[in-house]
Amino acid sequence: MKKNIIIIILLVIILVIGYLYWTKNNTQSPMIPGRDGGSGLCTREAKLCPDGSYVERTGPNCEFADCPTTN
């Protein structure tokens, strides 16, 4: 019985440490670094525009492109 409790406690500690490590190293930046350590690529995400079209991330800061304007 004591052995089971110790195993459960160790598993919980390992899971908490793993979660904290993952959240610390999980950046929210949409930039994927390049092979040379310099500029990289933007993640493939899209934003839905009011007219129903989609725009992707672009530029050095990986910001979403402007939605097309309708006249």
Determine, yes or no, domain membership for 25.
Answer: yes
Per-residue CA distances from 1 to 5, 6, 7 (Å): 7, 9, 10
Domain annotation covers residue 12 = yes
What whole-number distance in Å separates Cα of residue 66 and Cα of residue 50?
Answer: 11
Evaluate whether residue 44 is within a structural domain.
yes
In a domain, 69, yes or no: no
Q: Which residue has the tokens 């930046």?
A: 29
pTM over 0.85: no
Give me the number of domains the chain comprises: 1
Its domain, for residue 24, covers 2-64
* Residue closest to 65 by CA, chosen among 38, 43, 51, 47: 47
- Give the pLDDT of the chain (71 residues) as one tens digit per residue: 788 999 999 999 999 988 888 776 665 555 555 555 555 677 788 999 998 999 988 877 788 889 988 66
